[in-house]
A and B are shown apart, each in its own frame.
Chain A
Amino acid sequence: MSADSHPIPTPTPFATTSTGKDRVLADLALVAHEPGVRKPDPIVVADSVTRHFGGMTAVDVDHIEIQRGAITALIGPNGAGKTTLFNLLTGFDHPSTGTWTFEGKSLSGVAAAKVARSGMVRTFQLTKALSRMTVIENMRLGATHQPGESLFTALIPPLWRAREKEITVQAEELLERFKLGAMRDEFAGSLSGGQRKLLEMARALMSKPTMVMLDEPMAGVNPALTQSLLGHIIALRETGTTVLFVEHDMHMVRHISDWVIVMAEGRIVAEGPPEEVMANQAVVDAYLGAHHDTDLGDDSLLADEVMEQLEAEALEEKR
């Protein structure tokens, strides 16, 4: 069955009739399915970005473009360099070589905070909850344009109260959607692993970014909740937000992404729409594996050959 047409339990008005999706699909329709391909309306363009750690090359990207307004998935084996690429693009790490632009402006060498302010906001794979602040405070911190964040305005509450109210309303809405409403006044440090992931994502969305980069947003999140959150991500596309996410959950990738980029050993090895990329034999061999659609309860899987095959695949992935 088609994942798209499947009814989603939580009411998400944008889920199916997505004008944004149509637009993006139309834009991407003519784009060739090859690594490093040019896109009609790229928001991020990066050239020859490399990052070495000692002797190993974690990232070695010749050319990559992210389509504006699209939901792009970045997949690839463990250690492929996805997170490192995120770190480089968002200014949390410094590349060995390379330049990139965001909305036409060069962002290479720009500090992380400035990158975020320019509209490119990311989340972390290993969550960074602000432990001794409450959930709602975490959320408020994500907002932008709060005049009270400047030292002198902070001293005159009337100057920032109104904005604070707006922020709080927005934060509470997001919390409800991310099933964190009940935790509003708890310390973020007391959240469970999955709840932290959710908070991290919700907090990033507070700033209404032009582009949001999610690093494995759904790892550790309950599937039922994942499903309801996908609606939210799709809704982001409707508002014109560009989404780039790393994810190992293929159902999610298949369900919401307009475009998939595959990384391996630091390089871009394949690009294309999800159905096609996932049918690509190389991707299946190196990343998805032969059993990704198999019921693992099958005893025959316990045969030694299967293990060997899996190991071979894992090695392939490594190579």
Chain B
Amino acid sequence: MSTDSTTAVATGDPSSVHRGAPAGEPLLAATDLVAGYLPGVDILSGCNLVVHPGELVGIIGPNGAGKSTLLKALFGLVTIRSGTVTLKGEDITNNAADALVRRGVGFVPQNNNVFPSLSIEENLQMGLYQAPKKWAERFEFIVDLFPTLGERRGQRAGSLSGGERQMVAMARALMMNPSVLLLDEPSAGLSPVRQDETFIRTRKINRAGVSIVIVEQNARRCLQICDRAYVLDQGRNAYSGPGRQLMNDPKVIELYLGTLATDVETATTKPDLLPGSSTPPTP
């Protein structure tokens, strides 16, 4: 196990992990968003988000905080009641989703993220709806990433297992080769190795220049890979900062991360920040 490399990164200056450019023109920005489903009930109540070009931004928070709502609002699937969203400086508040796709935004929803009665192949074709000409090339790319999907291309997505669906969902969003990607819990339901793969791939995609907003309940993993992260609680930003910093913030740990999974990091992170850090590392 590559414990050494982990140490190297984790013990370094947190800012060195941050590769995006926090200064300058934001790529995607949401200011004071208020949005909700039922009349009179605001789920987001003044939420802010900034994504700079090339940045990998994480969002974590308790269940029902409004993370998915935030992504849906950015993507035009939930009506924004006040506040603005801009993409490359242009106002895209309440723009229709298909218009955003045309502008290079991709989205993987949390629930119902496949077309159950369509085959895997057709699901992917839907992902490339606006650029059908690129099909051969993109399909090859995806099959490379998810060989299972290539083999089972004829199977109806509705009959897939939970993890398989998740792969289809991710693959569908990648078809268009978006420049901004909104991911809602892409790792949920995946086996550990696939989770790792997903996170590493997310990073690679990000490295290739795609700005990514990722919502995760696999919060530690998420904070490990992202440049900057927001903690959302009850429709508002509770904390924000570089991923590493949040990961080690005792408040964040207590309220949002829990300590169940700290066994890996405890050995390497600053001992004084962690409750229960005195326990010996797992063999």
Q: Which residue of A lies closest to B61 (CB)?
A: A222
Asked if A221 and B148 make an inter-chain contact with CB atoms under 8 angstroms apart, the answer reads no
Chain B proximity mask over A1-45: 1 for CB below 8 Å, otherwise 0 = 111011111000000000000000000000000000000000000
Distance, CA A3 to CA B283, complexed state (A): 11
Nearest A residue to B189, CB-CB = A219
The reply to whether A294 and B6 form a contact with Cβ atoms under 8 Å apart is: yes
Residue of A nearest to B265 (CB): A295
B1 touches A293 (CB 8 A): yes
- Centre residue among B63, B197, B257 by max chain A CB count within 10 A: B63
Complex Cα spacing A83 to B189, Å: 12
Docked Cα-Cα span, A9 to B251, in Å, equals: 12
| 15 A–B contacts from the bound complex (CB under 8 Å) | A79-B148, A79-B160, A79-B163, A219-B188, A222-B217, A223-B217, A225-B62, A230-B260, A286-B193, A288-B192, A291-B193, A292-B193, A295-B265, A299-B9, A310-B196
Contact partner of B147 among A9, A251, A311, CB < 8 A?
Answer: A311
Whole-angstrom distance between the alpha carbons of A127 and B189 in the complex? 12
Q: Tell whether A156 is near chain B: CB-to-CB under 8 Å.
A: no
Give Cα A77–Cα B68 distance, bound, in whole angstroms.
Answer: 27
Which of B67, B190, B200 has the largest number of chain A CB atoms within 10 A? B200
A298 touches B9 (CB 8 A): yes
A118 in contact (CB, < 8 A): no
Number of interface residues of A (CB under 8 A): 74
Which residues of B are at the interface with A, using a C-beta cutoff of 8 A? 1-3, 5-6, 8-10, 17, 37-38, 60-69, 110-111, 147-148, 159-164, 166-167, 185, 188-197, 199-201, 203-204, 207, 217-221, 224-225, 243-244, 254-266, 268, 275-276, 279-282
Contact of A294 among B2, B243, B281 (CB under 8 A): B2
Asked if A222 and B256 sit within 8 Å, CB to CB, the answer is yes
With contacts A195-B64, A287-B192, A307-B204 taken as known, whether A251 is within 8 angstroms of B260 at the C-beta atoms is yes
B207 touches A302 (CB 8 A): yes
List of 7 A-B pairs having minimum Cβ-Cβ separation, nearest first = A78-B163, A289-B193, A194-B63, A1-B279, A295-B6, A227-B258, A224-B258
Q: Which residue of A lies closest to B144 (CB)?
A: A311
Contact A297 B279, beta carbon cutoff 8 Å: no
- Report if A221-B217 is in contact (Cβ < 8 Å); known contacts: A2-B279, A53-B159: yes
A197 neighbours in B (Cβ, 8 Å): 63
- B-chain residues with CB within 8 Å of residue A195 when the two chains form the complex: 63-64
B264:A293 contact, CB within 8 angstroms:
yes
Q: Which among A1, A221, A255, A293 has the greatest number of chain B C-beta atoms within 10 A?
A: A1
Closest-CB distance, B124 to chain A (whole angstroms): 18
Tell me if A248 is interfacial: C-beta within 8 Å of chain B.
yes
Supplied contacts A222-B63, A295-B264, A314-B194, 20 more A-B pairs, CB within 8 Å: A1-B282, A3-B260, A5-B279, A78-B163, A194-B64, A195-B64, A216-B189, A219-B188, A222-B60, A222-B62, A227-B259, A230-B260, A250-B192, A291-B200, A294-B6, A295-B5, A297-B17, A306-B200, A310-B196, A317-B191
Checking B68, B147, B255 against A318 with a beta-carbon cut-off of 8 angstroms, the contacting residue is B147
A269 at the interface (CB under 8 A from B): no
Interface centre among A125, A183, A298 (most CB of B within 10 A): A298
> Could you say which residues of chain A place their CB within 8 Å of the CB of B64?
183, 191-192, 194-195
A198 interfacial contact with B, CB 8 Å: yes
Write out the residue numbers on chain A whose beta carbons fall within 8 Å of the beta carbon of B65: 192
CA distance A80 to B8 in the complex (A): 36
CA gap between A98 and B207 in the complex, in Å: 50
Give the CA-CA distance A281 to B99 in the complex, in Å: 49
CA distance A228 to B258 in the complex (A): 9
Q: Which residues in A have some Cβ–Cβ distance to B below 8 Å?
A: 1-3, 5-9, 53, 76-80, 82-84, 125-127, 179, 183, 190-195, 197-198, 216, 219-228, 230, 248-252, 255, 286-302, 306-307, 310-311, 313-315, 317-318
Min CB gap A227→B, angstroms: 4
State how many angstroms separate the Cβ of B159 from the closest Cβ of chain A. 7
B41 CB, nearest partner CB in chain A, Å: 8
Asked if A6 and B260 make an inter-chain contact with CB atoms under 8 angstroms apart, the answer reads yes
Instruction: Flag if B203 contacts A290 (CB, 8 Å).
Output: no
Q: Quick check: B68 and A192 within 8 Å, CB to CB?
A: yes
What A residues does B62 contact at CB under 8 A? 179, 222, 224-225
Taking CB atoms, residues of chain B closer than 8 Å to A255 are: 260
Q: Are B188 and A300 in contact (CB under 8 A)?
A: no
CB pair B38–A190 under 8 Å, yes or no, is yes
CB-CB < 8 A to A219: which residues of B? 162, 188-189, 217
Complex alpha-carbon distance, A194 and B203, angstroms? 25
Chain B residues with CB under 8 Å of A53's CB are: 159
A residues within 8 A CB of B257? 223-224
| B163 pairs with A1, CB closer than 8 A | no
CB distance from A43 to the nearest CB of B (A): 25
Tell me the minimal C-beta distance from B143 to chain A in angstroms: 11
A102 to chain B, nearest CB (A): 24
Residue of A nearest to B261 (CB): A251
Determine the chain A residues whose CB is within 8 A of the CB of B162 once the complex forms: 78, 83, 125-126, 216, 219
Q: Which residues of B contact A290 (CB under 8 A)?
A: 1
Closest CB-CB distance, B245 to chain A, in whole Å?
12
